[in-house]
Amino acid sequence: MKYRVLIFYYYNELLTILVLKFLSGEYTIVRIIKDQNLHLLIVLDELSYLIGKEGDLIYSLTRINDDAFNTSRHISIIGIARDISCLSGLDASTMSTLQRNIINFNNYNKEQLFEILKYRTEISLKDNIISDNLIQIITDLVYQTGDIRYGLNLLWKLTKIAENQNLKYITIESIRLANQDIVPFSFPHL
């Protein structure tokens, strides 16, 4: 909790400085960051989508630190992609800048998916609202898609269905209804 407060404080401080000085026309964002000796971390999720649609944006972001030869770099970029081969859609100079450190994460196995989903139910639902058997059914569905976000969305949706129906417990029918409501993932065998 201490770190969240600290990050929030610095985020607000950075945002205030950036907005006030940028709106006044006094500085560019890059100059403000450097003058205040701040560090900005830009996280680009779904990088494959951005490469296809916004390749020029990625190129520009990788060039922000170009004038920082032999000085500290104030802006860092993290790109998140499901498939690293999407980088082949970038030009060579952009790729060389982005590929300094690549960390590859393997897909979650069924046990890990179950633990994540169970943990999320434990922190967000009352005890005994959903059984381990039902969490396992959700885990099996998530494992088929390979997308934990689908599972988290399904949990949220089925909880809302149970609330709306005034159920004391989440049922298999709640899962069926939630699954039908999530597009494009619909598993008729459930």
Q: Where are the domains of the chain?
A: 2-98, 110-181
Q: Class for domain 2-98, per CATH?
A: alpha beta
Asked if the domains 2-98 and 110-181 are classified in one and the same CATH topology, the answer is: no
Specify whether the CB–CB gap between 98 and 87 falls below 8 A. yes
Tokens of 155: 């949990």
Written as one letter, the residue type at 97 is T
Which pairs count as long-range contacts for 145-151, CB under 8 Å and 24+ apart, including other chains? 145/185, 146/107, 147/185, 148/108, 148/113, 148/116, 150/182, 150/185, 151/113, 151/116, 151/117
Q: What is the pLDDT of residues 76-117, one digit of tens each?
A: 888 888 777 887 788 887 777 776 777 888 889 999 999 999
Give the model's pLDDT for residue 5.
41
Residue whose structure tokens are 């039902």: 134
Judged on CB neighbours under 10 Å (0-12, 13-18, 19+), 60 is: exposed
User: What separation in angstroms does the CA of 42 have from each of 12, 39, 45, 75, 76?
Assistant: 16, 10, 10, 7, 6
Percent of the chain with pLDDT over 70: 72
Q: At residue 56, does pLDDT exceed 90?
A: no
When pLDDT is cut at 50, 70 and 90, the band that residue 55 belongs to is low
Give the model's pLDDT for residue 61.
73
**Architecture per CATH, 110-181:** Orthogonal Bundle (1.10)
pTM higher than the cut 0.75: no
When pLDDT is cut at 50, 70 and 90, the band that residue 152 belongs to is very high
